[in-house]
Amino acid sequence: MQQTQCWEPRQLAALSAVCALVLLLIFTSITEKWSEPIDTSHDDALFKQRPPEWPRDVPCKPTFMIIGAPKCGTTSLFEYLASHPRIVRPTEKELCFFSFWKRQRVLDTPGKLPTKSWEQYMHAVQGGVKRSIACDGLLSFEACPFYFNDRRAEAYLATTFPALKAIVLLRHPTDRAISAWHDRNPFGRMRVPGSSRVHIEPALRRMLELAQSGNRSVEHRDTRVLTVGLYYYGLERWGHARNASTLLVLRTEDMWTNGSASRPQMAKVTRFLALPGPVSARALLKRHNAAAGHTWMQEQPSRALRRDLDCFFATPNRRLYEWLRKRGQRFVKWRSTCRGIAVPDAPSMHASDAALEGSESAKGLAQFSRPGGRA
């Protein structure tokens, strides 16, 4: 009878050490890329030419898009709307054809062709099936949370789809930043220059220092976890040519009650899109891409760090509230622990324009910055 060979404890320990070293090397090679700013010298062909046109003989031209923000509930809203009988479900949520960030840094891999080919993007928006020229009487859309803070995406979309409606979900920026850190860190994709550890406290504090240094923009990788939450800059850009009938801003905290979607909030969405009938109640019971049940594994920041994050976002939040008030939109203010503390000025995040100067995409982009601006 053949006996099963067992591993000695020392052999197991050596094997574990080798596996740990290999994983460390893999994670290190990945995390180093996330500490770099966006390199605009590698603009691909899309951003070196005029925005593409949707041919008249191609059905299902998108009528609306969920444009952001990341980690604010866009996956759930996508699933709810995709379940509506009068909406075409695209082949995947984040096609992100117009997002420079997503195309160049995240989806530039085989198997993600809708983001690299205009023809395949149009096919993907139709749900991957052949439809009538009237799109079978349905509305088509996509959801790309990276459009919100991408000035090139806004400019190109405004030219290609001038009548496009946009939906934005905004979450408490401190909660959003912490959620984004947790989303990236487990996969070893997060490392901040000057911080030798990937624990949440030193990492986010280092990001705060960099974001307040005056040398970062919303498009820098190593502070993006924070700067995505500077919603005022994205809304100001998206709202310059859109009113309340074409831009809907929602608070993430208002979208869910006891784990299921708020019917009044979803009714607001269906009215905005002029959809016949509501989203099914069954579809609203599930919350998608949430960390529920796993939060006990996540490292939480200290109260002091939460306070400092709240202070970092305080001035941009006030600008956001004022911008929405002037547009006549009611928006409940988020809680803040930044009381009795000198609040820093809002960081100058429009440096992203300067960062783009000299790149191929910047040359001639101004002519597409408004609907009807095509040369």
With a pLDDT cut of 90, the percent of the chain lying above it is: 39
Reported confidence tier of residue 362, pLDDT bands at 50, 70, 90: very low
Q: What is the mean pLDDT of residues 261-276?
A: 93
| pLDDT at position 367 over 50 | no
Q: What is the pLDDT of residue 52?
A: 85
Task: Note the pLDDT tens digit of each residue in 15-26.
Answer: 666 665 554 444
Query: Could you tell me which residues are annotated as the binding site for 3'-phosphoadenylyl sulfate?
Result: 171, 179
Residue 328 covered by a domain: no
Average pLDDT value over all residues in the chain:
77
Q: What is the pLDDT of residue 290?
A: 67
Residue 148 covered by a domain: yes
Q: Which has more pLDDT, 221 or 113?
A: 221
Q: What is the mean pLDDT of residues 9-13?
A: 65
| pLDDT at position 179 over 80 | yes
Residue 260 covered by a domain: yes
Reported confidence tier of residue 45, pLDDT bands at 50, 70, 90: low
Query: Could you tell me which residues are annotated as the binding site?
Result: 171, 179
When mean pLDDT is compared across 46-55, 160-169, 284-293, the lowest value belongs to 284-293
Q: What is the pLDDT of residue 11?
A: 62
Q: What is the mean pLDDT of residues 24-40?
A: 43
Q: Is this model's pTM higher than 0.85 or not?
A: no
* All residues at 6 or more sequence positions from 169 whose CB lies less than 8 Å from its CB, including other chains: 66, 68, 69, 72, 73, 74, 77, 250, 251, 252, 255
When mean pLDDT is compared across 2-11, 28-37, 59-68, 241-250, the lowest value belongs to 28-37
Measured between its terminal Cα atoms, the distance across the chain in Å is 83
Reported confidence tier of residue 109, pLDDT bands at 50, 70, 90: low
Residue 36 covered by a domain: no
When mean pLDDT is compared across 33-42, 157-166, 240-249, the lowest value belongs to 33-42
Residue 242 covered by a domain: yes
| pLDDT at position 132 over 70 | yes
| pLDDT at position 120 over 90 | no
Q: Report how many domains make up the chain.
A: 1
Q: What is the mean pLDDT of residues 277-285?
A: 88
CB 132 within 8 A of CB 250: no
Q: What is the pLDDT of residue 107?
A: 47
Residue 127 covered by a domain: yes
Catalytic residues: 71
Task: Note the pLDDT tens digit of each residue in 337-351.
Answer: 997 665 555 555 544
Q: What is the pLDDT of residue 189?
A: 47
Q: What is the pLDDT of residue 161?
A: 94
Q: What is the pLDDT of residue 369?
A: 36
C-alpha 226/C-alpha 207 separation (Å) is 7
Secondary structure of 166-227 as H, E, C letters: EEEEECCHHHHHHHHHHHHHHHCCCCCCCCCCCCHHHHHHHHHHHHCCCCCCCCEHHHHHHH
Q: Smallest Cα–Cα separation from 170: which of 73, 239, 315, 311?
A: 73
Q: What is the CATH number of the domain that holds 133?
A: 3.40.50.300
Task: Note the pLDDT tens digit of each residue in 190-233.
Answer: 555 554 447 888 889 999 999 888 888 777 778 889 999 999 98
Residue 140 covered by a domain: yes
Q: What is the pLDDT of residue 288?
A: 81
Q: 137: domain range? A: 46-197+230-295
Residue 258 covered by a domain: yes
